[in-house]
Each structure stands twice: as structure tokens, then as C-alpha cells.
């Protein structure tokens, strides 16, 4: 059967292909966006699963908005205003999809950062949005370019990842957060603040959400994937209640509600007295892994490659002075190391600066070191 026209616009995901190759025996993968499985809160999950298994009520159909005790927890921990609401989603990816399906008409102008999260590019392409991009500086989006975009057309939303961006690892400065919030307010653009890596800061100062400076102009996507385990598939959207109410109507048509037993498990894990210690442990290990990767790059790769230091998250963006990133990724795979060429994170019309994305959360420090030594042979 022929797919619908808008589906034909979707590029087959290069990442999916490379991830398949990356699972082959003997390949070290710096390609995926996978959190470390050895750092999942296994004991807490096991305890929670046993406890929840005894609760018959959570195996019944439930409210689309989510499991009420989890929603209460979210309200408190995300410091929601009384006029704001929350919706539990099946991963933050579903939150993104719901926002696009609820608010985007074909041809609507939206703004993304360049480069941008591939899953967002796919969602907004499928929604047939008119995608405009703004280049990133080391502090966040280039403000003059963003203002020009907002001023030159009617922009519906600006999707951004201000904390430890995927793929670049960049975190916005406090001033940029305030300036972007001001621009969104001035031009009445809705900010979609995607924050799955926010709790993975391992150095520097914790900064407020951008949306805290423009709460009436923003929705925030959160995810349990990087702080507990992605297989649970749970995330949330928060924002002005009337906007959330529309998302709920659309989610009803999609999956009625996210798995209630898993929401109950999530709540048990989040409220467990040892959860904070688990998070601290993840941050400590990710810092060690990042430092091991950075040291290996400094030691083994030629001086023409460069990277901006990151303060958290899971990714490092390796800028290349020359060469085709696709070609380098292909050759790296032949040598036994999987990386993602930066090109896949740009939309078709963008000017792409040559780079590759390196993930440092998944592999142990010794494997990261070995991977960079293999990559050095490609250079
Ligand atoms: N947003 C960003 C920026 C991501 O990197 C990811 C996962 N790689 C997601 C959203 C989706 O996360 P999940 O659906 O697992 O919550």
C-alpha cells in the first residue's frame, strides 16, 4: 500500500541504520543516545515493580492525563503555577508528537536550532511544518538571527534543548535564557523547552528553565528516560492548562493513556529515599566518562579537530576542520567504532559545519579511550 504523501517526506533514519551496525560484535558504539544500562536504578525498579504488582487498581483503564499521584508529584517537583497543568506521556517523544499534531497546520512557520534533535526534525517534518533554523553559539542560539526570524514571519513555536543539547552538548547561559524568553514574549512565540538531560549536570552552576522567565509562553517536556530507564517510556508536558487540555484530547485518539502500572512504578522510584543518591551516582560516572573521552581526544586526535567543553548530558560535538563526516563515520565503522555524522542533525536547507556526535554515557572509560584510538586511525 502506498504511504501518505507526508510520510514520504520522512528520511529513513541514518541513526537507526548505524545503531543496527553498532550492535555487531566487536564494535564500540559512541553512536546511540543510550544511557548507561549498568547505572539504571535496578534495585529500586525491582522493589517498585513488586509493590505495584499488588495494586489491582493500576491495571484498570485510567485517566488520559495520567496517574493522579504521579501528577501530584510532578506538580510539586516542577513547581507548577496553579493555572498550569501537566500531562503524562509515553516518553517525551510522544509529547513532541502531540504538540505537533495539536498545534501545527501544514506550512506553519516554526524555528529549531541548527543542528537539532533528530526526533524533533522528524516530528515537525511529518507535521509538514515550515522549518526555519537558527545557528547555535557556545551560549545558545544566535540572538540577532533569532530576532530577525521572529520579526520577519509569523512563527508559531520555537523548539529548543537549552540544557546539554542533543547533539552538541551546549548549555545556554543565564543571559541567553532571559533574552530568548523576552523574544518569545515580545513576538508571542511559544517556546517548547525540551529538557531530558537537565538533571545530568556534572559541573558548573544549575540554571533556571528558560520557561521560568516566560511561563505563559512556554511548554516544558520532561523525560524519565535519562534519569531512570528509557524502557519505561514515560515523560511529561507541562504548561498553561488550556494548552495541556488540547493535548489531552489528541492523546485520547492516540493511546488513551500511558501505561498506569509503569507510572506507578515511576512514582515509587522518584519518591524512594535512595533516588537522589542514584542520580548523584549517574552524574559522577558520566563526568568520569566525559573526562576520559575528552582526554583521549586531546591525546590521540589531530589538533585540527576541536570540541566545546560540556557540563553535563551525554554528548560531545567533535568539530572537524575538513573532511566529509559521512565518510569518516563509514570508515570508523570499518575500524570497529560507531559514531554519528553531524549532517543528520540538520534540516535539508541548512549550511552544515562538519562534525560528528560522540556519546559518552554508554561506554566505560576504557572503551571510550579504545574507541578514540581507533578513530585516530581514520584521521
Ligand atoms: N528529546 C531529546 C532532545 C532527546 O535527545 C530524546 C531522546 N534521545 C527525546 C526527546 C526522547 O526521549 P524519550 O521519548 O525517551 O523521553
Residues 27 and 74 in one domain: no
8 A C-beta contact, residue 379 and residue 302: yes
Contacts of 8 (CB under 8 A, 6+ apart): none
Residues 143 and 252 in one domain: yes
Residues 27 and 168 in one domain: no
Residues 129 and 251 in one domain: yes
For residue 341, tell me if it sits in a domain.
yes
Measured from the CB, is residue 89 less than 6 Å from ligand 1? no
Q: Which residue bears the cell 528558560?
A: 210
Average pLDDT over residues 36-46: 97
Residues 78 and 153 in one domain: yes
Q: What is the pTM of this model?
A: 0.97
Residues 26 and 59 in one domain: no
Measured from the CB, is residue 64 less than 6 Å from ligand 1? no
Residue nearest to atom 8 of ligand 1 (CA): 33
Q: Which residue bears the cell 549536570?
A: 201
* pLDDT tens per residue, range 153-179: 999 999 999 999 999 999 999 999 999
For residue 48, tell me if it sits in a domain.
no
- Ligand 1 atom with minimal separation from the 235 CA: 16
Q: Look at 222 and 348; give whichever has higher pLDDT.
A: 222
- Ligand 1 atom with minimal separation from the 161 CA: 3
How many residues belong to the chain? 379
Gap from CA of 54 to ligand 1 centroid (Å): 31
CATH number at residue 100: 3.40.640.10
Residues 170 and 92 in one domain: yes
Gap from CA of 70 to ligand 1 centroid (Å): 20
Residue nearest to atom 7 of ligand 1 (CA): 33
Measured from the CB, is residue 32 less than 6 Å from ligand 1? no
Question: Domain boundary residue among 224, 255, 270?
Answer: 270
Specify the pLDDT at position 102.
Answer: 98
For residue 209, tell me if it sits in a domain.
yes
Residues 232 and 354 in one domain: no
> 262 is in which domain, residue-wise?
53-270
ipTM above 0.85, yes or no: yes
- In whole angstroms, give the CA distance from residue 301 to residue 312: 22
Measured from the CB, is residue 312 less than 6 Å from ligand 1? no
Gap from CA of 356 to ligand 1 centroid (Å): 19
Contacts of 261 (CB under 8 A, 6+ apart): 52, 53, 58, 59
For residue 47, tell me if it sits in a domain.
no
190 DSSP assignment: E
| SS3 category, 263 | helix
Rg of the Cα trace of the chain?
Answer: 21
8 A C-beta contact, residue 44 and residue 275: yes
**Domain count of the chain?**
2
Specify the pLDDT at position 323.
Answer: 86
Residues 246 and 282 in one domain: no
Res 59 pLDDT > 80: yes
Give DSSP secondary structure letters for 197-246.
TTT-B-SS-----GGGGSGGGEEEEEESTTTS-GGG--EEEEEEHHHHHH
Gap from CA of 152 to ligand 1 centroid (Å): 30
Gap from CA of 196 to ligand 1 centroid (Å): 6
Residues 266 and 282 in one domain: no
- Residue 112 β-bridge partners: 133, 159
CATH number at residue 14: 3.90.1150.10
Q: In this structure, what C-alpha cell is assigned to residue 64? A: 488520559
8 A C-beta contact, residue 225 and residue 205: no
For residue 46, tell me if it sits in a domain.
no
Question: Domain boundary residue among 246, 270, 294?
Answer: 270
Measured from the CB, is residue 225 less than 6 Å from ligand 1? yes
Specify the pLDDT at position 21.
Answer: 77
| SS3 category, 375 | helix
Measured from the CB, is residue 345 less than 6 Å from ligand 1? no
Give DSSP secondary structure letters for 269-336.
HHTSTTHHHHHHHHHHHHHHHHHHHHHHHHHHS-TT-B----SBSSEEEEE-SSS-HHHHHHHHHHHT
- Ligand 1 atom with minimal separation from the 223 CA: 16
- Ligand 1 atom with minimal separation from the 90 CA: 14
Question: Domain boundary residue among 220, 247, 270?
Answer: 270
Measured from the CB, is residue 119 less than 6 Å from ligand 1? yes
Measured from the CB, is residue 230 less than 6 Å from ligand 1? yes
In this prediction, residue 70 has a pLDDT band, given cuts at 50, 70 and 90, of very high
Residues 369 and 261 in one domain: no
For residue 265, tell me if it sits in a domain.
yes
Residues 12 and 102 in one domain: no
Res 14 pLDDT > 80: no
Res 229 pLDDT > 90: yes
Sort 12 into a burial class: Cβ within 10 Å, 0-12 / 13-18 / 19+.
exposed
In this prediction, residue 15 has a pLDDT band, given cuts at 50, 70 and 90, of low
pLDDT > 90: percent of the chain: 90
Helix (H) / strand (E) element for 84: namely strand 84-89
Gap from CA of 1 to ligand 1 centroid (Å): 30
Average pLDDT of the chain is: 95
From 35, 112, 117, mutation site for ligand 1 pocket: most ligand atoms within 8 A of C-beta: 117
For residue 106, tell me if it sits in a domain.
yes
Average pLDDT over residues 66-71: 98
How far CA 218 is from CA of 148, 156, 158, 257, in Å, comes to 20, 11, 9, 23
- Ligand 1 atom with minimal separation from the 95 CA: 14
For residue 239, tell me if it sits in a domain.
yes
Amino acid at each position: 500500500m502506498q504511504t501518505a504523501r507526508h510520510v514520504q517526506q520522512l528520511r529513513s533514519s541514518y541513526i537507526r541504520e548505524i545503531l543496527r551496525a553498532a550492535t555487531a560484535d566487536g564494535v564500540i558504539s559512541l553512536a546511540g543516545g543510550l544511557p548507561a544500562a549498568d547505572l539504571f536504578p535496578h534495585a529500586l525498579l525491582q522493589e517498585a515493580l513488586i509493590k505495584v504488582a499488588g495494586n489491582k487498581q493500576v491495571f484498570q483503564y485510567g485517566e488520559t492525563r495520567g496517574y493522579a499521584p504521579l501528577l501530584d508529584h510532578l506538580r510539586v517537583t516542577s513547581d507548577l503555577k496553579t493555572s498550569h497543568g501537566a500531562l503524562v506521556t509515553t516518553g517525551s517523544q510522544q509529547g513532541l508528537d502531540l504538540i505537533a499534531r495539536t498545534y501545527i497546520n501544514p506550512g506553519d512557520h516554526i524555528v529549531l536550532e541548527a543542528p537539532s534533535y533528530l526526533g524533533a526534525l522528524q516530528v515537525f517534518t511529518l507535521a509538514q511544518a515550515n522549518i526555519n533554523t537558527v545557528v547555535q553559539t557556545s551560549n545558545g542560539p544566535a540572538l540577532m538571527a533569532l530576532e530577525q526570524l521572529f520579526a520577519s514571519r509569523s512563527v508559531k513555536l520555537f523548539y529548543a534543548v537549552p540544557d546539554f543539547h542533543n547533539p552538541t552538548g551546549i548549555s545556554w547561559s543565564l543571559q541567553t535564557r532571559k533574552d530568548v524568553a523576552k523574544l518569545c514574549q515580545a513576538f508571542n512565540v511559544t517556546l517548547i523547552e525540551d529538557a531530558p538531560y537537565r538533571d545530568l549536570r556534572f559541573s558548573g552552576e544549575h540554571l533556571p528553565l528558560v520557561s521560568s522567565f516566560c511561563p505563559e509562553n512556554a511548554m516544558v517536556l520532561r523525560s524519565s528516560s535519562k534519569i531512570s530507564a528509557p524502557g519505561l517510556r514515560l515523560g511529561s508536558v507541562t504548561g498553561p492548562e488550556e494548552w495541556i487540555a488540547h493535548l489531552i484530547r489528541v492523546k485520547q485518539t492516540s493511546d488513551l493513556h500511558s501505561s498506569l502500572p509503569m507510572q506507578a512504578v515511576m512514582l515509587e522510584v522518584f519518591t524512594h529515599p535512595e533516588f537522589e543518591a542514584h542520580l548523584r551516582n549517574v552524574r559522577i560516572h558520566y563526568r568520569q566518562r566525559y573526562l576520559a573521552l575528552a582526554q583521549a581526544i586531546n591525546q590521540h586526535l589531530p589538533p585540527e579537530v576541536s570540541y566545546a567543553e560540556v557540563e553535563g548530558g551525554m554528548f560531545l560535538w567533535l568539530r572537524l576542520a575538513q573532511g566529509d563526516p559521512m565518510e569518516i563515520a563509514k570508515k570508523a565503522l570499518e575500524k570497529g567504532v560507531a559514531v554519528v555524522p553531524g549532517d543528520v542533525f540538520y534540516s535539508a536547507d541548512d549550511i552544515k559545519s562538519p562534525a560528528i556526535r560522540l556519546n559518552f554515557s554508554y561506554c566505560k572509560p576504557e572503551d571510550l579511550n579504545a574507541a578514540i584510538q581507533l578513530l585516530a586511525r581514520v584521521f
